[in-house]
Structures are given as C-alpha cells and as structure tokens.
Structure 1
Amino acid sequence: MNRERGVALISVLLVLSLALLLVGGMLRSHRLLLQSSAQQLQQLQLRQLGLAGEAWALLRIEDSGITPSGPVDLSQDWARLGPGLEVDGAELHVHVEDLSGRLNLNGLLALGQIDQVTLGRWSRLIALLDLPPLSLPQVGPVQELSQLRLLPGIDGQTLQRLEPWVVLLPKEARLNINTAPQRLLMSLDGLEAGPAEALVNQRRQAPYASVQAFNNDPLVSGLGLSSHGLGVGSRWFRITVSVIRAGSRVRLASDIELDPVSGRVTVRQRRFLPFIPSELPR
C-alpha cells in the first residue's frame, strides 16, 4: 500500500515538473515575443521619425527658393539646417547635400565618345584618394553605386573610399563649383590644394553666379582650366536623416530631384541604411 502511494506521489511530482517546464517555456517564448514586438514597434517609430525629418527638410528646400536654372550654393537655407532636432524624446540630425557637388560617373560610363575632360578629373580624383589607377568601361548609364562592384578593380573597400565623392546622375549633370568640396575642386585641371582651399573659404561669402565668374577669379584665371562639365546650379539633392532614441538608431537617405519645368520636388529614392557617424567630405 505504501509502495503504491509512493509511486503515485512520484507520478504527481513528475507531472507537476513537466507542467512547470511547459509553463516556463511558454513564458520565455512569450517574453521573447514581447521583446521582439517592442523592438519592431520601436524601429517602426524611428522610421516614421526619419520620414518626418525628410518632410521637414523638403520644406526647407522648397523655402530656399531654389530653381533648376538658378545658382545653388552653401549660403542658402537648405545647407544650414542647424545641429539637430528633438522630437518625441528622439534626437534627429538632418543633412542635405547637393549631389551635383560630386563627380558624375555616368559621364564616363555612358556609351559613345569618351569625355576626356571628365576622364582627367576622374584620374586626378583617384590619385588624390591614394587609390590605384582605375579605368571605367563604357557599360551604359548605371543607377546604383553598388553596381560598380561588378567592374574590374572595384571591390567593397574601394567603393567605400569612392562613395562620398562620386554620384550617378543623368549624363548632362554638371559639377557645381559652389558646392563641390576641396578635394573635388583639386580634381580640376591644375588647381592645387592652396588655391582650392581658398576658393572654398571665399565662396562661403561670395558664391559664384556663373562659371565665367569662377574662371575669372584670380585664383583660377591663368590656369587654362576647362569649363566643360562645370556649373553653378543643381536639381539633385540627398537628404540624410539620423534618428537616435534610447540607444536605437536609424538612418534614412532620400534622393530628391527638382522638376526642371514645374520646380516641384520629387523623392526619387529612399533607403534605410546602417547607422554610421556623420562624416562629410572636406
């Protein structure tokens, strides 16, 4: 009789232990599910804040009075957005870049006669970046910089070095001398580091109204610099929004274009990217 009771008690204890294990497993799964849902909800909220930052930057661009045919320079409101915003307990950093301030590689990749002036600027930029000589085959217009990985001599590290300085725009896009950083100005024919730095400092107060005014500048005149492919305007911009809240981070990059007829702003592409510290070309 006692033996039967002992067996029954052991059976009950085994059943209770199994039940506790099952309940514990369910609680752990439920807790992980809640954590995952909370993380997904937080990411969704951060992305919505990123889109809000984009909308704010679009308004600032529209209020800057930029026209597709007018000068674009760093003294305008779009280029002076301030250090950051506080929204719903999150920190937003919004930056707008003129993409015409980069070297347009589609001028080299497009099929047809090679643009020798742009090719010279490409070669000088490669040398300034301490990269080995790279020749770009004419493969036709390219839409994404990541596609350059398919070209010979361009690996991930090389593409990462190139990314802040190059862009893929329509072939007719010109390099904006009012927004191009110093290193890109140094890619122009015969422009050394000292004059390029002086031009960058000078244009903050007196941006150039035309390419002719740039060529007539005492720092430039006499160099025989070609004005081919240069301009003072732009209709392509990139808005980058970095959102930080409670240790979570999201970075949104939106490429926009001003319609040359209506002047309206259109978002051409949005990408949520890995968060990296802001590092702007100098």
Structure 2
Amino acid sequence: MTGPRNQRGVALLIALLAVALAVILIASLLDRGELAFARTRNVLRGEQAVAYAEGLEAFAAQILMRDLAENPGLDSNNESWAIPLPAQEVPGGSISASMRDLNGCLNLNNLVGTENPAIWRQRLDRLLVALELDPSLAGAITDWLDADTNIDDAGGAEDSAYLAQSVPYRTGNRVFAHVSELRLVRGVSGDVYARLSPEVCALPPDSAINLNTASIAVLMSLDSRMTAALAARINQDGQARWTDVASALNEAAQQGVELSPADRTGLGVSSSYFLARGEVTLDDVPFPFSSVLERVSGGARGGVHVLQRSRGGDELARSILDERGRLRSAP
C-alpha cells in the first residue's frame, strides 16, 4: 500500500509538471504575440514608407513641371529640381529626397535603338578609354543588346561564350531594362561596374545627352581629341548652363576640337528623363526608393510619367549583383 507521504510526493510532482507546462504555454503565447506584433508593425511601416515614397514622387513631378514652365528647352544642375530635399521629420521617422538628370549619361540602349548606332558605339568606346577600362567591353555590350548571332570583332561575345560559363545563360538580345544588367555581360566585373555604371544608363532608345549635366567622362566620349581639361571647361564644375549645343561646343572649337554635324547627333541642353531618389527612415530602419521619371512637354502625353520603380539602396543592389556576377562574368 502507498502511504500518505508517498501520495503527497506524487501530487507535488504532478503539480510541478502542471506548472512547468503552464509556463511553457505562456512563454510560447508571448513569443507568438511578439512575432505577430513585429510582423504587423513591419507591414504597417512598409506601407507607410510606400505612401511617403509616392508622395515624394508626386512632389518631384510637380517640381519638374514647374521647371519646364519656367525654363522651357533648358535644364542644368543649378535648377530647382537639382536641389536635394533635406531630411524632414514625419510621424515615425524622417524623409529626404534628391533628383539626378539621366540625360547626363550615355544611354546604352542607343547602341541598337537609333538610326545611327555607330555614333553611339564610338562614344562608348571613347567613354571606356576615358574611364581607363578595356575598350573591348564595348563589343561585348553591343553583342548583348543586338538580336543577331554575329560576334563583334572587338571583344564581342554571343551565346556560345556565356553557355560555357559555370552558370550557363544566354545573351539578352534586347535593350537593357536596367543598367545593373551590365553585370551579366562578359568582362564586367564588380570593379568595372562600379566605375562604369555612374556614367551610363538604360533609357528608351533615342534619348539625347544633355551637355549641361553630362559628366567630364561623358563629354570626353564626344570626340577622341576631347581632353579632360577641355571637358572640365565645358562642364564648369557641374554648373554649366549652356543655352544651345553650339555655345557648349564653342569652348572645344576654340581649341581646335570641332565636332562635325554627324558627331553632334543626339546632343542637347534639355532633359526628359530623371532619377528621383527617396530615403524614408521609420523606427531607425531605412527604406530607400527610386523612380525613373519621364517628363513630356505638351501633347496628349504631356506631364510626368513613371517608367520604373525600385526599392533598396545602390550598395545593397551592388553587393547582390557582385555575388551573382562573380561566377557569371569571365575575366
């Protein structure tokens, strides 16, 4: 028979087990509650960040249209759209924004999408030289864009070169949707991309180069005789405000660098494409956004149109691209 003392021991053991189970259940419920709260908070903050980003986008569109009305046919880096929006306090954090003129870069899609792609190919060749990069990269970039299977004589690469990689894939055979696709092109390593990407862009074909906002390297791509010093005189520390192409190139002409009418193809002093960047910080968590905006003057399509939206900072995107491109890009 079991004595009263043994019965009390068993009861105490059962009570301890019950308490332990209760504690485990309560801890599990609390943990689930905290996770649910964190998920809800993250969703709400994400939606709040998107709302702020859309507001910044609409604000950028207003500034661009106001600038078009005040300065038709002329865009430079000393206009209102180029002034960054400093950090502004908002419920839960802060927002800031800036805009960049994409017509100041060399549009890679002009290599295949224009009536005279040879002009743009020459400019890409000279841009690579100005950046001290391998000029043969121009051949690989052109082959990535064009729809034929003919290998460019100057460093080109078609499907056969990419299918032989440890991670096989094919050429795009279409225009770039985003400049980051360069990391898939043979020979474009992380270092090459870091130097080339700020000077090029992926826009609808036939976009022009704005001489007021073009960098020194892009200006050097206009002619093989264009030195860095001469390009710097045209660039004027990024504050150039030339009223027409002839005035901008007069500095070069005075130094004996006269561009022919054909070499002036695709040059201008106004812009249609802009990159709007927004930095939304909520609960000390950054939410970077960017939008490619097209500004159209007059006509049925007059106004500002969003061509592309993306989320995430350049450094994060670059690190992902470097990791993906490490095996894909041949030296």
The bucket for the TM-score relative to the shorter chain is 0.7 to 0.9
Compared with structure 1, are the counterparts of its residues 219 and 191 closer, same or farther at alpha carbon in structure 2 (3 Å cutoff)?
same
Q: Distance in 2 between matches of 1:203 and 1:14?
A: 75
Instruction: Give the ranges of 4+ consecutive aligned residues of structure 1 lying more than 6 Å apart after TM superposition.
Output: none
Please tell me the root mean square deviation across aligned C-alpha atoms, in Å.
2.7
- The residue aligned with 1:196 is 231
Decide which of 71, 74, 78 is 2:74's aligned counterpart. Answer: 71
- The residue aligned with 1:31 is 34
Q: Distance in 2 between matches of 1:218 and 1:129?
A: 20
**Structure 1 residues 33-52: aligned runs within 5 Å:** 33-52=36-55
Decide which of 195, 199, 210 is 1:161's aligned counterpart. Answer: 195
3-state DSSP of counterpart to 2:217: helix
Where does structure 2 lack aligned partners over 5 or more consecutive residues? 147-172, 317-331
Decide which of 252, 270, 281 is 1:233's aligned counterpart. Answer: 270
Q: Distance in 1 between matches of 2:182 and 2:254?
A: 33
Q: What are the Cα deviations for residues 117-160 of structure 1, in whole angstroms up to 9, with x where unaligned? A: 32222122223333323022123433222333443223455334
- The residue aligned with 2:176 is 142
- The residue aligned with 1:266 is 305
**8 Å Cα contact 1:255/1:267 also seen in 2:** yes
Provide the TM-score with structure 2 as the length reference.
Answer: 0.74
**8 Å Cα contact 2:289/2:312 also seen in 1:** yes
Q: Which moved more, 1:225-234 or 1:249-258?
A: 225-234
Q: What are the Cα deviations for residues 91-128 of structure 1, in whole angstroms up to 9, with x where unaligned? A: 32211111111101112144x88733322221222233
The sequence identity of aligned pairs, in percent, is 29
Where does structure 1 lack aligned partners over 5 or more consecutive residues? 278-282
Deviation at 1:252?
0.9
**8 Å Cα contact 2:234/2:249 also seen in 1:** no
Q: Distance in 2 between matches of 1:52 and 1:19?
A: 49
- The residue aligned with 1:280 is none
**8 Å Cα contact 1:68/1:258 also seen in 2:** no
Q: Distance in 2 between matches of 1:78 and 1:2?
A: 87
Q: Which moved more, 1:42-51 or 1:79-88?
A: 79-88
**Structure 1 residues 1-282: aligned runs within 5 Å:** 1-65=4-68, 70-88=73-91, 90-110=93-113, 115-133=117-135, 134=137, 135=139, 136=141, 137=143, 138=146, 139-189=173-223, 190-201=225-236, 204=239, 207-217=241-251, 222-225=256-259, 226-262=263-299, 263-274=302-313, 276=315
Q: What are the Cα deviations for residues 7-53 of structure 1, in whole angstroms up to 9, with x where unaligned? A: 12211211211111111121122112212322332232223222222
- Return the structure number with greater helix share: 2
